[in-house]
Amino acid sequence: MQQPDDPAVYRLFAMRAQVAPDALALVQGDMRLTYAELLDEVDRFAAGLHARGIARSDRVAILSENRWEYLAIQLACARIGAIAACQNWRLAVPELRHCITLVSPALLVCSERYAETAQTAGAGLSICRIEDLQVAGDSPLAGGADDGLLIIYTSGTTGLPKAALIGQRAEVWRSCVLRMDLGLAADDAYVAWAPMFHMGGTEHSLATLMGGGTVIVTNGFDPAAIVDAIEQFRIGWLLLVPATIEPVLAELQARDPVVMGVKVVGCMPDLVPSATVAAITGALGAHYLDSFGATETGMPPLSANLIPPGAAPASYPKALSMLTELRLCDADGRDVPRGQPGEAWLRAPTLFSGYWNNPDANAECFRDGWFRMGDLFRQEDDGFHFVGRAKYLIKSGGENIYPAEIERVLLADPRVIDAIVVSRADAKWGEVPVAVIARNCDTLDEEAVLAMCRANLAGYKQPRGVCFVDDSDFPRSASGKIMREAVEAMVA
């Protein structure tokens, strides 16, 4: 007996258009598209790709700012079984050329804004502008659950970016886990402000369109546009990375809007002062997402804990995501005892398919059917506590120091806007931790920082130096994370 194919991305989206053709699918400024209208646009893009010879498993590189057509092209790729390789327009041309060349695209699709960059970084490739891609006609409905769908590049803070391939089956499972972990309804809206070359822009938008909700597309981070959206739509999850919370809070305080409803806000509270967590959840009446996931894993392994509105926790124990198996292992792959730091190894249907054209990275990250994240956690009775990156460990006088343990203490002080702990070479100890802090109050001086660390940390974990910087001076990735290696170079 032939087994039916698993659900696939385009088919699930098209099913929503069949069930509720007049439901609102996409909003961008004054533009509105119903599900029926968006389906027609997607099919025209698919016909355009097919007319240019794009077939199943071919890569289509996309270089564009956020716009509704970006999502339509990805859905068109899902229809024909092609793979959308989402390019980071923030990269320098040599870095961008590496990312494009790595995946050998059959076509590079660009917006007018990045047409010149596309010609330079994609020299020798077939290049098409978004406005010229749609045609009337048909295309094969070839894409299925076994096909790849997205290539999202890792941050590359320690080297050139790697290209993570995410399949259609994994995308479907990711949309399911997102809803289960966060308690979202199928028709909740989503604000797509994060760049579409990241999960926050692309993946959660596709999940919304597979479920029947509305995606509000903005051209980058715009606090006014975000507040406009929460006045007009019921938002399931308002994604705000750490660096974006304060500007949205300021907009909310200035406007005092009537909020239609936000269920969950934020992510990665370990990187946010607890007072800020309390302020944004109190302002919106929403829970804060105590998350830990990755491009390679989706929301798992640890994104099922929601912090109540107005709460300012001293620590952020994480809860295991649905449909996820997790082990904490030592360097030899043995499970560590409860209370000891171990690297997160997981199995989940949300996992990516591997790094494109990078067998060495795949051999390092996969072992015996498990994916090694490179992130360290400690399991306690109240949940899983983030310890740090396995590759970023400060060894001072023979003792292991995990920066996240010190950072949690610093970020708990309301005078701290943001903070990071890095390593600095030391003649006596080999290396020592240094705290780099952005503050909002001059009463937080070096002695005050050292005093709070003495009260909360073992002696060998004390920072051996404190540097104060403006928050704008922190080098950040596109997702808002402070780039540790860059800060380390600043204090060397």
CATH number for the domain spanning 28: value is 3.40.50.12780
Residue 3 is predicted with a pLDDT of 63
In the 8-state DSSP scheme, what is residue 13?
A: H
Residue 4 is predicted with a pLDDT of 67
- Single residue among 193, 220, 247 that ends a domain in this structure: 220
Task: Kindly give the pairing relationship between strand 163-167 and strand 148-153.
Answer: antiparallel
How far is the C-alpha of 121 from the C-alpha of 91, rounded, in Å?
Answer: 10
**Cα-trace Rg, the chain:** 23
Residue 478 is predicted with a pLDDT of 59
For 456, counting Cβ atoms within 10 Å of its Cβ (0-12 exposed, 13-18 middle, 19+ buried), the class is: middle
> Would you say residue 342 lies in a domain?
no
Helices (H), 5-129: 9-19, 35-51, 68-80, 93-102, 115-121
DSSP letters of 374-399? EEEEEEETTEEEEEEETT--EEETTE
How far is the C-alpha of 413 from the C-alpha of 93, rounded, in Å?
Answer: 40
> Residue 73: which of 103, 104, 102, 110 has the closest Cα?
110
How far is the C-alpha of 292 from the C-alpha of 267, rounded, in Å?
Answer: 8
> Would you say residue 168 lies in a domain?
yes
How far is the C-alpha of 86 from the C-alpha of 63, rounded, in Å?
Answer: 7
Domain assignment of residue 454, given as a range: 398-491
Residue 158 is predicted with a pLDDT of 41
> Would you say residue 238 lies in a domain?
no
The amino acid that residue 377 corresponds to is F
Residue 343 is predicted with a pLDDT of 95
> Would you say residue 375 lies in a domain?
no
Residue 435's domain is classified under what CATH number?
3.30.300.30
Cβ atoms within 10 Å, residue 148: 26
For 225, counting Cβ atoms within 10 Å of its Cβ (0-12 exposed, 13-18 middle, 19+ buried), the class is: middle
- Single residue among 220, 236, 258 that ends a domain in this structure: 220
> Would you say residue 197 lies in a domain?
yes
Number of domains in the chain: 2
- Single residue among 220, 239, 260 that ends a domain in this structure: 220
> Would you say residue 404 lies in a domain?
yes
CB 296 within 8 A of CB 352: yes
Per-residue pLDDT of the chain (492 residues; tens, 9 = 90+): 556 688 999 999 999 999 999 999 999 999 999 999 999 999 999 999 999 999 999 999 999 999 999 999 999 999 999 999 999 998 878 889 999 999 999 999 999 999 999 999 999 999 999 999 999 999 999 999 999 999 999 854 445 789 999 999 999 999 999 999 999 999 999 999 999 999 999 999 999 999 999 999 999 999 999 999 999 999 999 999 887 899 999 999 999 999 999 999 999 888 788 999 999 999 999 999 999 999 999 999 999 999 999 999 989 999 999 999 999 999 899 999 999 999 999 999 999 999 999 999 999 999 999 999 999 999 999 999 988 777 777 878 666 687 877 888 898 899 999 999 999 988 777 789 999 999 999 899 999 999 999 888 878 788 999 999 999 999 987 557 788 888 988 887
**pTM > 0.75: yes or no:** yes
How far is the C-alpha of 61 from the C-alpha of 45, rounded, in Å?
Answer: 14
How far is the C-alpha of 483 from the C-alpha of 477, rounded, in Å?
Answer: 6
First to last CA, the chain: 65
